[in-house]
Amino acid sequence: MTTRRNILNFIGGAAALAMTASTGMAQEVTLRLHQFLPPQANVPKHILDPWANNVEEASEGRIKIERFGAMSLGGAPPGLMDQAKDGVVDLVWTVVGYTPGRFPSTEVFELPFMVEDASAGSYAYWKMFESHMQDSEFKDMKIFGAWVHGPGMFHTNKPVAKPSDLEGMKIRGGSRLVNELLKATGASPVGMPVPAVPEALSKGVIDGTTIPWEVTAALKVPELVENHTEFEGTALYTLTFVLAMNKAKYDSLPADLQAVMDSQSGLEFSVFAGKTMQDYDAPARKAAADRGNNIFTVSEADAAEWAAVVDPIYATWIADMKKRGIDGQAMIDEAKMLMEEYKKNNM
């Protein structure tokens, strides 16, 4: 069972792992971690750096993780997964939806109005990763964490309260299913990685974007648009993330160093990461409110109109999964069951 106490133990427990190899025979390893956000953004600062620091400390200095943000090693965010797979870098953190169609099972957590809480969603995602994805869609990589962000929402240059308000607007979407959601409302989806959002907003290339609150500060979105639309209850959508490593590089490590990395990873780390992202929604929301921006909250009752508009996405997704040999409805049912399991035991 994953509890608040377990998560706190993860944050502070790196030093508790004893090393089994003698110092004289120690092999030192330097790994490069590449990701798309600036180093001061919430995910690198409060999730990736603590994880890397924990690994370094638990290895007693035998593992060194160099961190590179904002795509400083080259390429574009959609290429991060291949950078890890092909060994261009050792580790990446990325949005799974930046490579649409390659990891279809993860999309169950990107369906509209599917996930209410990032901790519960991340718990279910990791559990289903282990049982359904680890040896199939992700078999060519080593995955240390799999999680979702807090509630996704709209940030726009004009107020949005109901689906029809989006008609004709150009809205950035972060994944294939988010783009389907936008199409269902009458908006024109524009696919782009999140680092491109500020320039696209400032130049009028898009009229708004879908992102959670927590990343708005790093992207300065409240300075570029004045309207924000959030939802009570179940989130409009969430995106899925992974912290991935080149499999051959992982396999080349001594067994005790593999154990070090594994000890800082998995279910508790995934829940910690999802919870941390959602925790940083509140200060980002406050910053937008302090600027005097318009924040519209769709009530759970009014969200029914939105849910009805996007509901056909479920049937389309289930049919698409069937073509891929995946039982989409069973994936939906299992995800919901696991999220309820987490909430029952932890909330």
Residue 6's pLDDT is: 55
Number of neighbours of residue 105 by Cβ within 10 angstroms:
22
- Name the pLDDT band for 263 (thresholds 50, 70, 90): very high
pLDDT, average across residues 238-262: 98
All residues at 6 or more sequence positions from 297 whose CB lies less than 8 Å from its CB, including other chains: 229, 230, 231, 232
CA distances from 112 to 1, 174, 196, 275 (A): 27, 13, 23, 20
Three-state SS at 309: helix
pLDDT, average across residues 111-133: 98
Sheet-wide strand order for 170-173: 188-191, 170-173, 208-212, 152-156, 227-231, 294-298
What is the rounded CA–CA span in Å between residue 109 and residue 313?
13
Residue 20's pLDDT is: 38
Residue 347's pLDDT is: 72
What is the rounded CA–CA span in Å between residue 112 and residue 130?
23
- Name the pLDDT band for 19 (thresholds 50, 70, 90): very low
CA distances from 292 to 165, 228, 307, 332 (A): 21, 11, 29, 39
86-100 pLDDT, tens per residue? 999 999 999 999 999
Q: pLDDT exceeding 70 applies to what percent of the chain? A: 92
